[in-house]
Structure 1
Amino acid sequence: MTDTPTTGRALPHPEREEIGLEAVLHALADPMRLRIVRELAAEGVELSCSDFGLPVTKSTTTHHFRVLRESGVIRQVYRGTAKMNALRRDDLDGLFPGLLDSVLAAADRQSLRLGDGAGV
C-alpha cells in the first residue's frame, strides 16, 4: 500500500496489483458506497466529499469513503482543505474487465425497476 503525494497529508491506497476482487465486491455491495461510485462514474471527474448529498452522518460518510479507498475502488487526495475523490476506473477495468460497467448498468436497471430515485 502506498501513499499518494499530497500537500502534507497522504492517504494510503492499495497498489493496482494489491486490489482484490473480494474487497471491490464488498465495497460495491453497500447501497451508499454504490451511490458514491455511480455519481463518480456519471460525473467522470474528481468530486469533493462535500459534493455528495448522502443521507447519513458525517462519520458514516467518512467510513464509506474509507472502505472505497482501501478496497481500491476510489483514489482520494487532498487539494487544499478538500478531500477529492476519483474512481479508479483504469485500474478496475484492467484487473476485472467489464466488472465496473456491469455493476453500474445493473444498478441503473435496479433503480429504474424499483423507482427508488437513486438514478444518477
Structure 2
Amino acid sequence: MASRNATPLVHPDTDALVFTDVLTALSDPLRLAVVAELAEGAEKPCGSFRLPVSKSTQSWHFRVLRESGVIRQRDDGNRRLNSLRRDDLDARFPGLLALALREAQALRVPPEDSPDSNGPPPP
C-alpha cells in the first residue's frame, strides 16, 4: 500500500541498467513469475499477485525487480501499480526478456496443481 510519506520510487535509467542486477532479479522463481504475469498485459497492483510468501517478502521481491530496472512502479491512491519495462530491457539487452519469459513458461505450474490450491496434493 502506498503512503503519503513514502520514499519516492527510484527507477534506473535505461542506460544505467546493469546486466548482473537484471539477471539476479530474474533468477528467483517468484520474481520470474511476477515478470511473466506482467508480460501478459497492463499494470497490476501488488496485491493482485498470489505469491506464497508474506507481505513483507513480497515487498522485498518487488523492490528487487524495481531497483534492477525490470519493472516500473507508480502509486495510484492507496495502490502501487507495477508494469514491465519491456521496451527498456529490450533496448539495453536485446532478447534477454524473451528468453526469460520462455523459461518462465517452461517452469510455470498450472494453478490447480499449485501447493496452495484446495485440491489434493500431487502424488
Q: Give the TM bin, normalised by the shorter chain.
A: 0.7 to 0.9
Q: Give the TM-score taking structure 2 as reference length.
A: 0.81
> In structure 2, what is the Cα distance between the partners aligned to 1:52 and 1:106?
19
Paired position in structure 1 for 2:25: 27
Q: Letter of the 2:86 partner, please give it.
A: R
Distance 1:38 1:79 in 2: 22
TM normalised by structure 1 equals 0.83
Quick one: distance in 2 between partners of 1:107 and 1:84? 22
How far apart are the structure 1 equivalents of 2:58 and 2:49? 9
For residue 95 of structure 1, the aligned residue among 80, 92, 95 is: 92
Could you tell me which residue of structure 1 aligns to residue 16 of structure 2? 18
Aligned 1:1-120 pairs, distance under 5 A: 10-42=8-40, 44-111=41-108, 116-117=109-110
Which of the pair has more CA radius of gyration?
A: 2
Q: Cα RMSD (Å) of the superposition?
A: 1.5
Deviation at 1:110, TM superposition (A): 3.4
Q: Quick one: distance in 2 between partners of 1:79 and 1:17?
A: 27
Tell me how far apart the structure 1 counterparts of residues 53 and 88 of structure 2 sit (CA, whole Å): 29
How far apart are 1:39 and its partner, in Å? 0.5
Say which is worse superposed, 50-59 or 101-110, in terms of deviation.
Answer: 101-110
Unpaired stretches in structure 2, ≥5 consecutive residues: 112-123
Q: Where do 5+ consecutive residues of structure 1 fail to align?
A: 1-6
- In the TM superposition, what whole-angstrom CA distance separates every residue of 1:27-86 from its partner, at most 9, and x where no partner exists? 0000110010010002x2100001101010000000000000000000000011100000
For these two proteins, the number of residue pairs brought into alignment is: 107
* Amino acid of the structure 1 residue aligned with 2:19: L
Alpha-carbon shift at residue 8 of structure 1 (Å)? 7.5
> Helix, strand or coil: the match of 1:12?
coil
